[in-house]
Amino acid sequence: MFGGSVTVVSAATARAAAPGTVTFAAVNGAIERIVPPLAAELSPVRVNAVAPGAIDTPWRSFLSDDAKETQFAAAAEGLPAKRIGRPDDVADAIRYLIGSTYVTGTILPVDGGFTVS
């Protein structure tokens, strides 16, 4: 029986020691820690999370175009993927988790390798 799917959004800051992100780390770490027990408690509903890294979204609209480009270029250089993520990257991961009926209790990094580099 298929019981449905819940997919929450965390962030790579839950698993990285990036200066200035302690509040994000705490909140996103809490989100990630509830995924496995919720998957067990809500079964057969599947519970998963995506954990994006740097994604080019309007969230950074407070930066000038030049500042954003400089910041993104520097960040991309340090990533194994060598680019900043796009909203479609996160949407694809969410679609995967929703459609994969044998995946539950998982946190899927969508961070270009940020948490492994």
Domain chopping of the chain, boundaries: 5-110
Q: Does the active-site annotation cover 5?
A: no
**Residue given tokens 């949407």 in the structure block:** 91
Q: What integer pLDDT is reported at residue 63 of this predicted model?
A: 86
The count of residues in the chain is 117
Q: Which of 3-12, 13-22, 92-101 has the lowest average pLDDT?
A: 13-22
More confident residue, 74 or 3: 74
Residue 37: is its pLDDT beyond 90? Answer: yes
User: Residues 42, 1: contact at Cβ < 8 Å?
Assistant: no
The CA distance from 33 to 26, in Å, is 11
Q: Of 5, 10, 43, 117, which one is the catalytic site residue?
A: 10
> Which one-letter amino acid corresponds to residue 37?
P
Element (H, E) at 72: helix 65-77
Q: Name which residue leads in pLDDT, 81 or 63.
A: 81
Tell me the average pLDDT across 105-117: 92
pLDDT at 2 over 70: no
Angle, CA of 112, 94 and 83, to the nearest 5°:
20
Considering the entire predicted model, what is its pTM? 0.89
Let me know: does 76 contact 83? Beta carbons within 8 Å: yes
Q: Is-cis flag, bond preceding 44, omega within 30?
A: yes
Query: Does position 49 have pLDDT exceeding 60, yes or no?
Result: yes
- Please state which CATH number belongs to domain 5-110: 3.40.50.720
